[in-house]
Amino acid sequence: MPKPPDSLFETIVSISADAIVAVDESRRIVLFNWGAEQVFQYKASEILGQPLDLLIPERFVESHRERVREFAAGPQTARRMNERGEITGRRKDGSEFPAEASIAKTAREGRSVLAVFLRDVTARKQAETRLTYLAYYDGLTGLPNRMLFADRLKQAMLEGIRGDRPVAVILMDVDRFRALNDTLGHEAGDQILRAVGRRLLLSIRESDTLARLGGDEFGIVLTGLQGEDGIGRAIRRIMDSFTEPLSVEDQTLYATLSIGVSVHPGDSVSAEGLIRNADAALSRAREMGGNAFQFFKPEMYSRTARNLALENDLRRSLATGDFILHYQPQFDLKTGNLIGAEALVRWMHPQRGLVPPGDFIPLAEETGLIVPLGELVLRQALSQAKAWHDGGLPPLPIAVNFSVRQFRHSAMVETVHRALEETGADPRWLDIELTESSIMKNPSAVIASLGELKRLGILVSVDDFGTGYSSLAHLKRFPIDVIKVDQSFVRNVTTDPNDAAIAAAIVTMARALGMRVIAEGVETEGQAGFLRSKGCDGAQGYLFSRPLPAEAFLAFVEEKTRQAG
């Protein structure tokens, strides 16, 4: 026999962890559940009979009253409190908090009441604010990152044109940083980068922009200086600031810089050209042995000649098939079972040997060769998946990275479909990985293409989540199966509360949207344990296995299967 309405309502109220506040026709509180006590810090006995206005910041009281009156008089029985579904609440101590809120008409003890259902979203907002911050700032040093650096440079160039003053772009590397990092360890390397950032900040003016561009590379935008002499004096001041040693892990270390400079408008009239030319000058400063600076000169483009030679080699190797795939296993964090693998391309250069991906993937992107290279990787991965399946291996999704340029290619979906048909691979064995930034560049086109891929039965993953400017709220529009937490967050989850909070928030929100979560770059049991405790589904990283050639991967899987059996 069904419960009468009042009884059903009381049951919902008693079991709900969310705040539920009901008011009568005079807007006085007649119900205040346990969840509301936790959120607002009032006891029910203190608040019952009081006006609802006590729970609203004074500046919002009138607009809130109007929304409630409008709802009470209207035909709807339930809706969100406003268009965004969010309001600001006020606790007993006067502190404010963001909340998701809905309002409904119901009955209690034979009387009509309005019930507000409210959830404190402070933690989620903080995590989203942190993710937005990390889109423009470097998580290690707190300095602007490459994206914000480019934006500040463009602004400075416009101001320089108006004031007829030069703008200098300075790119810097820490000399011998790789050797220091390898000798002292990654934690010490991070401390060196932080110390260098602090020292650089002290040597420039507030009007200048200092950024960490990646690795041990820093950039400065200098404005308001008179010609090369003024710029040169500013650079010498920067270099002189490093005559004093850095203190790292109770050790005294001396650091020097290699510096390249280009000047607007003489060296280039575009931000991209200035950065490219400063990079060419930086390469020349490195070739001089470091602890030096160089202004850009057109003859410095020997590096361009080297890139051209590498591009020609890349084209030849695409024709001769000098690329191989390594596969990094992915594991279920709860069961320890193998749940997939990521395919990672390696270039076996006929003369140079193994060329690191960082040396040829950016070049392939820049030249458009990433499209044929991506198709080669796709076909190799699908052929290998089919071979493993035919050899008796259980079905295993293989993640294949797709770049922005590949995904924009007009025949991308057709290429995937043809590769599946020609290799005989099951579409369910393919997991296409896209970076967060590539998905957000042209959302409508991406949604259409992903829809076609999903209809084939293909999995879709978002790689490096948290490093771009988006949120899971945006991503819910896309047909995504898996969110991959970037290793920059995973690395410090056991030591950095901010990274731990962000990783946990990503897992929580992704699972709430029905997406699975895989963490990248897991290297320690502590990291794996933390992620497991937060509900992360899977992980990959050196804790489990490095990327392996196909034969070694098969042997690894067979050994795991033998141990399990």
- Indicate which CATH number applies to the domain containing 192: 3.30.70.270
Which domain CATH number covers 366?
Answer: 3.20.20.450
Higher local confidence (pLDDT), 418 or 1: 418
Mean pLDDT of 186-201: 92
CB distance 370 to 534 below 8 Å: no
- 334 and 244 inside one domain: no
- 159 and 49 inside one domain: no
The per-residue pLDDT of the chain, averaged, comes to 87
Closest CA to 258 of 180, 181, 171: 171
pLDDT of residue 561: 78
pLDDT of residue 472: 58
Tokens of 477: 């529009």
pLDDT digits (tens, 9 = 90+) for 330-382: 999 999 999 999 999 999 998 888 888 888 888 888 788 999 999 999 999 99
The answer for residues whose C-beta is within 8 angstroms of residue 70's C-beta and 6 or more apart is none
Domain end, chosen from 285, 300, 315, is at 300
Angle between the N-to-C axes of helices 357-367 and 370-390, in degrees from 0 to 180, rounded to the nearest 10: 120
Write out the H or E segment, with its range, that includes residue 452.
helix 443-456
Region class of 250: left (phi > 0), else alpha (psi between -120 and 50), else beta: left
Closest CA to 410 of 378, 437, 371, 379: 371
pLDDT digits (tens, 9 = 90+) for 476-531: 778 889 999 888 889 989 998 888 998 998 898 888 888 999 999 999 999 999 99
- 398 and 490 inside one domain: yes
Phi, psi of 41 (to 5 degrees): 70, 15
- 365 and 497 inside one domain: yes
Residue that the structure tokens 């964090």 belong to: 333
pLDDT digits (tens, 9 = 90+) for 33-79: 989 999 999 999 999 999 999 999 999 999 888 888 888 888 877 77
Tokens of 537: 């589904």
Tokens of 333: 């964090």
pLDDT of residue 469: 45
- 559 and 450 inside one domain: yes
* Whole-number Å distance between alpha carbons of 217 and 60: 47
CB distance 113 to 107 below 8 Å: yes
Phi, psi of 27 (to 5 degrees): 65, 25
Tokens of 156: 């400075």
**Which whole-number Å values give the CA distances from 280 to 16, 285, 286, in the listed order?**
62, 9, 10
- 184 and 246 inside one domain: yes
pLDDT reading at 116 higher than 50: yes
Tokens of 127: 């995590």
**Which whole-number Å values give the CA distances from 32 to 5, 62, 90, 344, 362, in the listed order?**
18, 22, 15, 56, 58
pLDDT of residue 528: 95
Q: Where are any strands of DSSP class E within 50-176?
A: 78-80, 86-90, 96-108, 111-120, 167-174
* 3-class secondary structure, 543: coil
Angle between the N-to-C axes of helices 443-456 and 412-423, in degrees from 0 to 180, rounded to the nearest 10: 20
pLDDT reading at 162 higher than 70: yes
Give a yes or no: residue 127 inside a domain: no
Residues of 413-431 as b/e, b for ≥16 C-beta within 10 angstroms?
bebbbebbeebebbbebbb
Q: Where are any strands of DSSP class E within 81-157?
A: 86-90, 96-108, 111-120
Closest CA to 138 of 467, 358, 483, 424: 467
**Which whole-number Å values give the CA distances from 264 to 8, 155, 164, 221, 455, in the listed order?**
71, 12, 10, 11, 50
- 84 and 144 inside one domain: no
pLDDT reading at 126 higher than 60: yes
Give a yes or no: residue 14 inside a domain: yes
- 210 and 358 inside one domain: no
- 259 and 347 inside one domain: no
Give a yes or no: residue 12 inside a domain: yes
pLDDT reading at 132 higher than 90: no
- 283 and 143 inside one domain: yes
Closest CA to 483 of 491, 473, 493: 473
pLDDT of residue 4: 47
pLDDT of residue 2: 42
CB distance 188 to 249 below 8 Å: yes
> 474: pLDDT confidence band, cut at 50, 70 and 90?
low
CA angle, residues 459, 548, 559, in degrees to nearest 5: 95
> 5: pLDDT confidence band, cut at 50, 70 and 90?
very low
- 289 and 387 inside one domain: no
Domain end, chosen from 300, 317, 351, is at 300
Give a yes or no: residue 131 inside a domain: no
Mean pLDDT of 70-96: 82
pLDDT reading at 473 higher than 90: no
Give a yes or no: residue 133 inside a domain: no
Tokens of 187: 């934690």
Which domain CATH number covers 47?
Answer: 3.30.450.20
pLDDT of residue 532: 95
Give a yes or no: residue 126 inside a domain: no
* Whole-number Å distance between alpha carbons of 89 and 40: 8
Domain end, chosen from 267, 300, 333, is at 300
Is the bond preceding residue 265 a cis peptide, omega within 30 degrees? yes
**Which whole-number Å values give the CA distances from 360 to 6, 407, 436, 467, 487, in the listed order?**
68, 19, 21, 22, 22
* Whole-number Å distance between alpha carbons of 99 and 20: 12
Q: Half-sphere exposure (CA, 13 Å, Cβ side) for 95?
A: 8
Domain total of the chain: 3
The CB density around residue 379, as the number of other CB atoms within 10 Å, is 18
Give a yes or no: residue 388 inside a domain: yes
Tokens of 293: 């600076």
Phi, psi of 451 (to 5 degrees): -60, -40
Give a yes or no: residue 129 inside a domain: no
CB distance 172 to 218 below 8 Å: yes
> 110: pLDDT confidence band, cut at 50, 70 and 90?
low
* Whole-number Å distance between alpha carbons of 538 and 519: 6
pLDDT of residue 289: 81
* Whole-number Å distance between alpha carbons of 238 and 236: 5
pLDDT of residue 540: 95
Closest CA to 326 of 540, 521, 549, 545: 549
pLDDT of residue 300: 79
Mean pLDDT of 454-461: 92
- 311 and 325 inside one domain: yes
In terms of residue numbers, what domain contains 437?
Answer: 305-564
Report strand pairing: 482-485 vs 516-519: parallel
